[in-house]
Amino acid sequence: MNSNTKLPKYQQIAEQLRHQIAEGTLKPNDRLPSITELISEHGVSLHTIEKAHGVLELEGLIRREPGRGIFVDPPRQKAQTGFLAYFSPNYHITRNIPYHTIIQQSIRQAVYKAGKYLTIVEDPREFPHWNLMEGLLISDMGHYNRNDLKKCLPPNLSRVNILFDDPGIHSVMADDADGMRQAVEHLLLLGHKRIGHLSHLQHSLLQQRYHTYVETLNDHQITPLPEWIYSKILPQFPNYYEYGYYAMQQWLNEGWEKLGLTAIIAQNDPAAIGMIEALKKYGLQVPQDVSIVGFDGVNESAVSPLELTTISVPLERLGQTAVKVLLEQSETLTNQRVTVQLPVTFKTGNTTRQL
């Protein structure tokens, strides 16, 4: 059983029931404890129990029988149609972003190698062929509406989320938290104590990185000020290089130098390169005046002669592993949730220096 008390209560309850199903304490077609029993046991509201049931129902672990109760749903053999779906609500944008295109290319190769066909879906409400899909890969930063997606899908369709741990479905992700921890600790070892962070923070994956950035600094008795984080929403730019350039330019214009920051961790490598160019135009050199750390390992070296210090994310393995998990789960009779976390690699370049 997952004893992580940081999880919302409904997820803790769902995990407990999921564990009981996986270990056989609750067998196929067994009735779950009644809602009244669960409310009494956990000291929560009806709404919380309903949310927990909703998670398990989305996973295909339980079924509701009106007038009788809620039962463990037996695993069912899934039809082999040869089609897999790839859901990316911003595919028209992400297909031009190196981070995502590497993942997408590895997914295509793995799918075709398995003798399957891949269908791209941007709006699940407008896709009419869900019943033909063997499984679904979800590649999103965390802002899609799970309830809207659930309404569109067959109840037993296998799903794998790529990039972050999505409660209730199989998930394949990189250890972004460890990557951020390594980035912060690298800068601390170099003597930096005022470390900034530039990133969009409205996405789940990036929020995880941000929280680890704060926690790691706190672990070293450093409390980052709100001004150390630049996360303002800017107009849509065609690529992250331009985002990094204009975000850094605005930060500079808004008094960045007064903060006394000696290092910045960027959202990703292209943004880091854009930031370096903005700093250069302002008259500041990297790493002489400020150290820069990228993230993801997608170094657009053609834009800059500098070799980034960065966190390399195994993007190809993310796509390959996600397809592997999806195919295994779409062909198996087990309902047990799978979570895979791939390690990241810290790479030292010439954009950071000892103070």
Q: How does pLDDT run across 299-352, given as a tens digit for each residue?
A: 654 445 678 999 999 999 999 999 999 998 877 656 678 899 999 999 999 999
Q: List strands edge to edge, sheet with 158-162.
A: 117-121, 83-87, 133-139, 158-162, 170-174, 339-342
More confident residue, 301 or 247: 247
- With b meaning 16 or more CB within 10 Å and e meaning fewer, what string describes 49-84? bebbbbbbbbbbbbeeeeeeebbbbeeeebeeeeeb
Does residue 116 sit in the same domain as residue 229? Answer: no
Does residue 183 sit in the same domain as residue 287? Answer: yes
For residues 15-40, give the mean pLDDT.
87
Q: How does pLDDT run across 183-226, given as a tens digit for each residue?
A: 999 999 999 999 999 998 777 788 899 999 999 999 999 999 99
pLDDT range class, residue 168, cuts 50, 70, 90: confident
pLDDT range class, residue 1, cuts 50, 70, 90: very low
pLDDT range class, residue 125, cuts 50, 70, 90: confident
> What is the residue range of 113's domain?
83-173+315-343
For residues 129-150, give the mean pLDDT.
80
Residue 105 forms part of a structural domain: yes
Q: Residue 139 has what pLDDT?
A: 87
Residue 234 forms part of a structural domain: yes
Least confident of 121-125, 159-163, 223-227, 233-237: 233-237
Does residue 239 sit in the same domain as residue 328? Answer: no
Q: What is the largest CA-CA distance in the chain?
A: 73
Query: Which pair of tokens denotes residue 248?
Result: 């850094």
For residues 139-150, give the mean pLDDT.
71
Residue 118 forms part of a structural domain: yes
Please list the alpha-helical segments (H only) found in the chain. Answer: 9-23, 35-42, 46-58, 91-94, 98-113, 146-152, 176-189, 204-219, 240-253, 269-282, 315-331
pTM: predicted TM-score of the whole model, two decimal places: 0.77
Residue pointed to by tokens 């790479």: 347
d(CA 192, CA 189): 7
pLDDT winner (highest mean) among 21-25, 153-157, 243-247: 243-247
Q: Residue 92 has what pLDDT?
A: 81
Residue 278 has pLDDT above 90, yes or no: yes
Does residue 60 sit in the same domain as residue 159? Answer: no
Q: What percent of the chain has pLDDT over 90?
A: 54
Residue 187 forms part of a structural domain: yes
Q: Residue 140 has what pLDDT?
A: 76
Torsion angle, CA of 138/139/143/144, rounded to 10 degrees? -30
Q: Residue 110 has what pLDDT?
A: 96
Residue 355 forms part of a structural domain: no
Does residue 48 sit in the same domain as residue 101? Answer: no
Does residue 301 sit in the same domain as residue 326? Answer: no
Least confident of 6-10, 52-56, 122-126, 291-295: 6-10
Does residue 299 sit in the same domain as residue 180? Answer: yes
Does residue 185 sit in the same domain as residue 309? Answer: yes
What is the per-residue DSSP string for 225-271? -GGGEE-------SSHHHHHHHHHHHHHHTTGGGGT--EEEESSHHH
- With b meaning 16 or more CB within 10 Å and e meaning fewer, what string describes 162-191? bbbebbbbbbbbbbbbebbbbbbebbbebe
d(CA 205, CA 210): 9
Residue 133 forms part of a structural domain: yes
More confident residue, 76 or 242: 242
- Number of structural domains (the chain) is 3
Q: Residue 4 has what pLDDT?
A: 53
Residue 224 forms part of a structural domain: yes
**Cβ 138 vs Cβ 87: under 8 Å:** yes
